[in-house]
A and B are shown apart, each in its own frame.
Chain A
Amino acid sequence: MIIRPVAAVALSFALAAGAVGQPKPTVSPEEEKARDLFRAGKFDDALKELEKAGKADAKLPPARVTLADYFYRANQGQAARVQLEQAIAENPRHPAAYLLNGSFAFGEGRLTDTALNCRTALDLAADPRWDPDQRKKFVRDARLGLASVFESRRDWAAAKENLVAVLNEDAKNTNLRTRVASATFHLGFPEQALAEFQAAWKDDPSADLPELRMAALWGAKDDLAKAEEWLKKGVSAHDRDARPARTYAGFLLDSGKADAAKPYLDAAVKLDPKARETIALKGLFARYKKDFPAAEEAFEALAKDYPNDPFAAWNLALVLIESADAGKKRRALDLAESEVRKNQRSAEGFAVLGWCLYKSGRVEEAEKALAAASSPGTVSRDLAYFTARLLTDQGKFGEAKKLLKGAATAKGPFPYRADAEALLAEVEKKAPPDKDEPKK
């Protein structure tokens, strides 16, 4: 439940697929009308309008391809497929149909289909009937699709080859260069990757800082020492930017070094006090230090500004439930229940609810909620602690010990670290010895 603002900020951005910074195509009146008709459920009329638009502008994709796209965006997958198959039957040599087909496949995780469609599109783009602009667009989209497939397959050489081919046509595209840099890094050339990140940052100073990108990549490779080294370099090199200080503070919190994180958090607060990530980190730090009033203040502000952010709501609930005030406890339960209602598939939501119920003395309900949180399979450190507490109360020391030991070795933020360690010490005295444990 805490991974989003901390580890995710630190580690995930480099892997974000860059939306290719292409200018938005101008939409003709016919297309506008077609969309309106589609929204009104008049699909045949929409198709007619699109056909009209296609006649006016030969560069537009076939009308059924566009209609299939409309259906897909409207979450009507079956209709979209029908339209697309029909489009391919009508225009078997039009790359746009295969590109859209590839896009559908990628969305559904069918990488091989995506690659085959993109390759077909790439081959068909060579047809001399396409004018240079059309061909360029088909080739670009096909290569980006292929790059995405190879990135997913971690075939970095192939991914890089396709990305570089696109980048050669669009040298100032920061997102593309960033993807090239990531692929280069994964190929084992961190210095070259850094140079690419630096070039991207030079082209667009609003892009992520090169040092933070490097840290994220090393972090993703589980080389936390190198990740930390780059975070430190980031802080040293950008003393007027809150991002590196904030990211490093998050990293240190994740590593269980709350005291060490403090000056970096202080610097981030000074540099960018109103940023969402700064407030989140402040709240999290306060939770680590068990300064619940400060944590409440931070998460209250965050929940107010971002009412749809479950992170704020979960943390606020976890903070409020620690209060001695019955009203605050009630509010914590309301918040946790409301979040579970909003997202029935979120394990973290159930974990927070389970803990709030446990702290309110509703043990049976807590047990159910925590079981629901555990069912997807992955057990976060917080969830492990919550469940272990419940199990300890029920005298199931062996199971509690197993969970707590797992939590101790897992990665990620863990504001309950000290409590978990204390509980583990208590449980170890009472639990039967492990069979695997070597005899002293």
Chain B
Amino acid sequence: MSAPIGPPLPLSARQRVGRVLLAPVHAVLWVWYGPLWLRAAFALAVVLGVGGGSYYLAVLRPEQKRKLAITQAWFQFDAAAAVGHEPVALESIATVLELDPGNETALRRKAGIESGNADPADAGMGVLTVRGNLRNNRLPEAEREATKRLAHAPFDWVAHCARATAALARGDRDVGVRFVNQIPAPDHPQTRPDAGGLLTAFRLFREAGRDATPLRVFVRNIFVKDLGSPADLAAPAPFKLQRIECYTEGFDADPDRPPEAGLVSHWAAVSALADRAADESLAAGDVATLAGLGRVGARLSAELFAFRRAGQVTEDQYPALRKELDDRATKVWTAVLERDPTNPDAYHGLALLKWRAGDYAAARDFVARGLAACGDDPQLYAMMATMLRAEDRPQDASAAIWKVAERNPDKLVWWILAAEASVAARRRDLAIAACERGRRASPGNPWLVRTEAGLHLEAGDAHKALELLNSLGEPAVLSEPAAARMYAHALTASGLGILVDDFLAKAEQPAQEEGSKVGSPRTAAAAFRGVLDSEPSADRAAAVADRAGKLLAKWVDHPDLLRVRADALAHAAEVGEPRWQPVRVAAAVKAYELARAKRYADLGSAAALARLRLKGERRPDLALKDIAVVRGSESVEPVPVDALEVLGAVLAANDLDAEAIRVLDKVRRTGRATAGGLAVLALTYHKQGDRAAAEDALKAAGELPLTPRDRPDYLLAARTIRQEKP
């Protein structure tokens, strides 16, 4: 054997490829020519390999893919179920069933969605069944499903709203109110209400009489932040509309309060959203969304006015913004009318726009066309009545609406309109008759009962008012500030003053409850005002002021309480002995100043303070300063008649006779002037040397009831003009 000569020579590339290619052949040959056991083992390995591979390819791999697809479908289902997207959820279930026709969960869920009845243990189904039942207006079923859902998710906003909606719809007010009160705070981390959910909650809060301030605060502070976001802009038009509607809900219900400062900064985003929604709806021919945009436009218009009044929109900015709103409204209403010529909202919207633009004839034309096209539409008739009143034809308005009401005796809305029109026509008898007829159509209707009670109060029949309000039941009276006010008035005026303190205590109760979320001092403030409405004694007025003061300790700076306290103190100063005692006057002035600081735009408190300065302090110069807001508003917006009358008296006291005569004459033309106001007018004419006009005004004053408040002015005028002795 020879020793190796040296290291083996390196193989060429060709040789290496040849070896690799020949290796299997060598291996086969090696096995083929190998021992038997090797050949047998090899054959077994080949058989097992081929079999296993085939099994994997034919069975295991498709099964794995199917399972993966099912898992993906359930993921998709969960995502859809979380937001209540039923089509996607059903699609996911269909996918599962296609892959696994016997899948029990899928079958159960499918049946649950179809019947609207979910398995109580299936947490994921609640949102779907609640929303599905709501969508199909199956409220009892929605309530049932909501209860199931809340067992798994106690802060689910939609489930809470569904429960409350169902209870209120079936007339179970106590339960409904309880459910509304259980709706969680909108900023709770587990709630996340969307625009639709928020709008539902606003409606429920209104219906249940719950203070919606927490919702409004949420809209102002959190909701508005995302307005105009890319997601918003990409959302379908109906969702955009909901977002805009939510924005308008952020404004305070009290028009005397300035809008929250933050809201104005989102105006541009809202405007852009509305423009996009209008364009998209126009392109899609979506009449419902277009009409919704038209309606929300009217609210935006009111809010723009509030911005201007509060100085948040300048006089320079206002006309352009106004035009933008009106143009959009005209565009959407015209489009609605083109697509649906019998849509009364469109006629109403366009008439309103024309009227505001000063084109009265066109406005009247739209109303007439609307009535011809849509028949007995309450909204159009209401507008027609308003127009007839503006034309100084309130009797015609009343007669027209009565005619339609007689044609539709079972429809409540006509009797409400007939009552309103009769009130405007100063036909209290007809208004009461309309309320009575309306109550036949809808027994116990709170609006009609309150209106009729108010009419009886005006007519001096406090007992009848009390009887009507009693028919509502105490809880209903205490849950509605207007009813509470009338009730307190009726109690005092009917000689049941001994019950007033008990009633006021009940009205104060929700406001006094410690840590109460639903409590509000508005009912108490309204009840206090009801006592003042009955022209009480100085002692009772002082007691009211005291009660309001005590509530203010908890509800610091509450505008209603501040105002009613000031009014009570002023009343006590006026009717107390001696009249206008300086200490009492000073207390009332201070109270008004506090009230005005919180509600600067309240024309009523400005006028009341000015009157106090004039009569109590005998400072016409200060009165003129205080009433400046009324003087400024008089030419641009409707001002309450009593505020105008005070303005006239203040102007006269400051020797601004021409303006005083103009204002007081304006009041006289409304037919709602008091004997005192007419006496001041007479005196001003007398000062101007117009004896005939002075005598005429004095005569008119003499024909009106002479209240203790009017008496001094009337006597002074009579003494001065006719040289009558007191």
Contact A238 B470 (CB under 8 A): no
A410 close to B (CB within 8 Å): no
Please give me the residue from chain A that is nearest to B473 by CB atom.
Answer: A259
Q: A234-266 toward B: CB 8 Å interface, digit per residue (1/0)?
A: 011111100011001000100001011011101
CA distance A266 to B491 in the complex (A): 12
**Of the candidates A232, A240, A266, which one forms a contact with B494 in the assembled complex, judged by CB atoms under 8 Å apart?**
A232
Contact A257 B467 (CB under 8 A): yes
Cβ distance A267 to chain B, nearest Cβ, rounded Å: 5
Contact B463 A235 (CB under 8 A): yes
Cβ distance A54 to chain B, nearest Cβ, rounded Å: 57
B484-499: which residues lie under 8 A (CB-CB) from chain A? Answer: 491, 493-499
Cβ distance A411 to chain B, nearest Cβ, rounded Å: 19
B182 close to A (CB within 8 Å): no
A232-B463, A232-B494, A235-B494 given; A259·B499 CB < 8 A: no
Contact A235 B467 (CB under 8 A): no
A232-B461, A236-B462, A270-B499 given; A259·B471 CB < 8 A: yes
A158 close to B (CB within 8 Å): no
Chain A neighbourhood of B493, CB < 8 A: 236
Contact B499 A267 (CB under 8 A): yes
Cβ distance B640 to chain A, nearest Cβ, rounded Å: 29
Contact B470 A259 (CB under 8 A): yes
Chain B neighbourhood of A237, CB < 8 A: 495
CA distance A259 to B461 in the complex (A): 18
Contact B470 A263 (CB under 8 A): yes
Chain A neighbourhood of B499, CB < 8 A: 263, 266-267, 270
CA distance A103 to B162 in the complex (A): 81
Chain B neighbourhood of A235, CB < 8 A: 463, 494-496
A235-B463, A236-B462 given; A260·B471 CB < 8 A: yes
**Of the candidates A239, A252, A259, which one forms a contact with B496 in the assembled complex, judged by CB atoms under 8 Å apart?**
A239
Contact A263 B491 (CB under 8 A): yes
Cβ distance B619 to chain A, nearest Cβ, rounded Å: 38
Main SS at interface, chain A: helix
Please give me the residue from chain B that is nearest to A262 by CB atom.
Answer: B470
- How many contacts between A and B, using CB within 8 angstroms? 47
Chain A neighbourhood of B491, CB < 8 A: 263
CA distance A235 to B490 in the complex (A): 12
B164 close to A (CB within 8 Å): no
Chain A neighbourhood of B461, CB < 8 A: 232
Q: B284-318 toward A: CB 8 Å interface, digit per residue (1/0)?
A: 00000000000000000000000000000000000
Contact A245 B496 (CB under 8 A): yes
Chain B neighbourhood of A262, CB < 8 A: 470
A214-238: which residues lie under 8 A (CB-CB) from chain B? Answer: 232, 235-238
A3 close to B (CB within 8 Å): no
A271 close to B (CB within 8 Å): yes
A232-B461, A232-B463, A236-B462 given; A260·B496 CB < 8 A: no
B466 close to A (CB within 8 Å): yes
Main SS at interface, chain B: helix
Chain B neighbourhood of A252, CB < 8 A: 467
Contact A239 B470 (CB under 8 A): no
Task: Tell me which of B470, B493, B495 has the highest count of chain A C-beta atoms within 10 A of its own C-beta.
Answer: B495
A257-B467, A259-B470, A262-B470 given; A239·B498 CB < 8 A: yes
Chain A neighbourhood of B466, CB < 8 A: 260, 263
CA distance A248 to B494 in the complex (A): 12
Chain B neighbourhood of A271, CB < 8 A: 498
CA distance A245 to B470 in the complex (A): 16
Cβ distance A116 to chain B, nearest Cβ, rounded Å: 49
Contact B495 A236 (CB under 8 A): yes
CA distance A224 to B597 in the complex (A): 53
Please give me the residue from chain B that is nearest to A231 by CB atom.
Answer: B463
Chain B neighbourhood of A238, CB < 8 A: 495
Chain A neighbourhood of B470, CB < 8 A: 259-260, 262-263
Please give me the residue from chain B that is nearest to A271 by CB atom.
Answer: B498
Cβ distance A259 to chain B, nearest Cβ, rounded Å: 5
Cβ distance A263 to chain B, nearest Cβ, rounded Å: 6
Cβ distance B444 to chain A, nearest Cβ, rounded Å: 12
Please give me the residue from chain B that is nearest to A245 by CB atom.
Answer: B496
CA distance A235 to B495 in the complex (A): 5
CA distance A240 to B496 in the complex (A): 9
A232-B461, A235-B463, A236-B493 given; A267·B498 CB < 8 A: yes
Chain B neighbourhood of A267, CB < 8 A: 496, 498-499
Cβ distance A104 to chain B, nearest Cβ, rounded Å: 47
A232-B461, A232-B463, A235-B463 given; A263·B495 CB < 8 A: no
Please give me the residue from chain B that is nearest to A244 by CB atom.
Answer: B495
Q: A266-278 toward B: CB 8 Å interface, digit per residue (1/0)?
A: 1100110000000
Chain A neighbourhood of B471, CB < 8 A: 259-260
CA distance A244 to B497 in the complex (A): 14
Cβ distance B52 to chain A, nearest Cβ, rounded Å: 84
Please give me the residue from chain B that is nearest to A234 by CB atom.
Answer: B495
Chain A neighbourhood of B467, CB < 8 A: 252, 257, 260
Please give me the residue from chain A that is nearest to B503 by CB atom.
Answer: A263
Cβ distance B706 to chain A, nearest Cβ, rounded Å: 20
CA distance A270 to B462 in the complex (A): 20
Cβ distance B342 to chain A, nearest Cβ, rounded Å: 40
Q: B697-717 toward A: CB 8 Å interface, digit per residue (1/0)?
A: 000000000000000000000
Cβ distance B453 to chain A, nearest Cβ, rounded Å: 12
Cβ distance A326 to chain B, nearest Cβ, rounded Å: 36
CA distance A173 to B499 in the complex (A): 36
CA distance A263 to B462 in the complex (A): 12
Contact A239 B497 (CB under 8 A): yes
Cβ distance A233 to chain B, nearest Cβ, rounded Å: 9
Task: Tell me which of B496, B497, B502 has the highest count of chain A C-beta atoms within 10 A of its own C-beta.
Answer: B496
B454-511: which residues lie under 8 A (CB-CB) from chain A? Answer: 461-463, 466-467, 470-471, 491, 493-499, 502
Contact B494 A236 (CB under 8 A): yes
CA distance A267 to B461 in the complex (A): 18
CA distance A232 to B466 in the complex (A): 11
Cβ distance B48 to chain A, nearest Cβ, rounded Å: 88
Please give me the residue from chain B that is nearest to A270 by CB atom.
Answer: B498
CA distance A259 to B502 in the complex (A): 18
Cβ distance A274 to chain B, nearest Cβ, rounded Å: 16
CA distance A240 to B502 in the complex (A): 16
CA distance A238 to B498 in the complex (A): 11
CA distance A259 to B496 in the complex (A): 15
Chain A neighbourhood of B502, CB < 8 A: 266
CA distance A260 to B499 in the complex (A): 14
Taking Cβ atoms with an 8 Å cutoff, the residues of A that contact B are 232, 235-240, 244-245, 248, 252, 257, 259-260, 262-264, 266-267, 270-271
Q: A236-B495, A239-B498, A259-B471 are in contact. List 14 more A-B contacts (CB 8 A).
A: A236-B462, A236-B493, A237-B495, A239-B495, A239-B496, A240-B498, A248-B463, A252-B467, A260-B467, A260-B471, A263-B470, A263-B499, A266-B496, A266-B502
9 CB < 8 A contacts A-B: A235-B495, A240-B498, A244-B495, A245-B495, A259-B471, A263-B466, A263-B491, A266-B502, A267-B498
Taking Cβ atoms with an 8 Å cutoff, the residues of B that contact A are 461-463, 466-467, 470-471, 491, 493-499, 502
